[in-house]
Amino acid sequence: MGHIKSRHLLYHSLANMIAQGVGISASFAGLNLISTPMRLALLAWHRESEFSADRAALIASGNPYHVASMLAMLGGISNRPISESTSLLEGIANVFMSHPILKERVNAVFRFSNSEEYSSIVRKSNYRRMLSNAFTPICQFCGSPKAIEAIFCPECRKSQA
């Protein structure tokens, strides 16, 4: 979902085609559409886009262990969720020992989860959610109809902000 929301899919498809050698056969057909430096840049971008999608997964789930679990399951490392206790027992780095690229991605997710940038995103997201709850035509507590701009419910009198 992070890839879709970040509009990665077109370039992802191109990078996958290059990685699978489609570009080479296309150049044999006289369709050398993408130069070598562009191919290398695209492959580098492809790698970085995985880190962006992992960050999106953290923002959506709010829990770095959920992202680690997703990567472990998609990578075929584990079919059980990774929790804080898994991490304490085995060490998260040991879980991903056999998959250095996934290990690097998981480490990046945990670093990002402790960053000021992530805290700021969570604060903004919570604020936006609070505003969207407040600016609806229905009271978020009793469900009574209310004016969109009304801060207090006319029925139960609770503050909507």
Whose CA is closest to 105, among 115, 96, 117, 94?
A: 96
How far apart are alpha carbons 137 and 78 in whole angstroms?
Answer: 45
Q: Binding to Zn ion by residue 109, rule CB under 5 A?
A: no
Output 108 or 134, the one with its CB closest to Zn ion. Answer: 134
- One DSSP character per residue, 105-151 reads HHHHHHHHHTSHHHHHHHHHHHHHHHHHHHSSSB-TTT--B--TT-S
**Chain centre distance of CA 44:** 19
Q: How far is the CB of 47 from Zn ion (least distance, A)?
A: 50
Nearer to Zn ion, 34 or 150 (CB): 150
Nearest distance from residue 155's CB to Zn ion, in Å?
Answer: 5
* Shorter beta-carbon distance to Zn ion: residue 89 or 151: 151
- Tell the smallest beta-carbon distance from residue 146 to Zn ion (Å): 7
Residues 119-158 vs Zn ion: string with x where CB under 5 A? --------------------x-xx-x--------x-xx--
CA distances, 58 to each of 7, 74, 76, 86, 107 (Å): 17, 16, 20, 18, 12
Place of tokens 């999106």: 56
Shortest Cβ distance from residue 127 to Zn ion (Å)?
21
Nearer to Zn ion, 121 or 138 (CB): 138
For residues 143 and 58, give the distance between their C-alpha atoms in angstroms, rounded to a whole number. 31
68 or 153: CB nearest Zn ion = 153
Q: How many residues bind Zn ion (CB under 5 A)?
A: 7
Which residues make up the interface to Zn ion (CB under 5 A)?
139, 141-142, 144, 153, 155-156
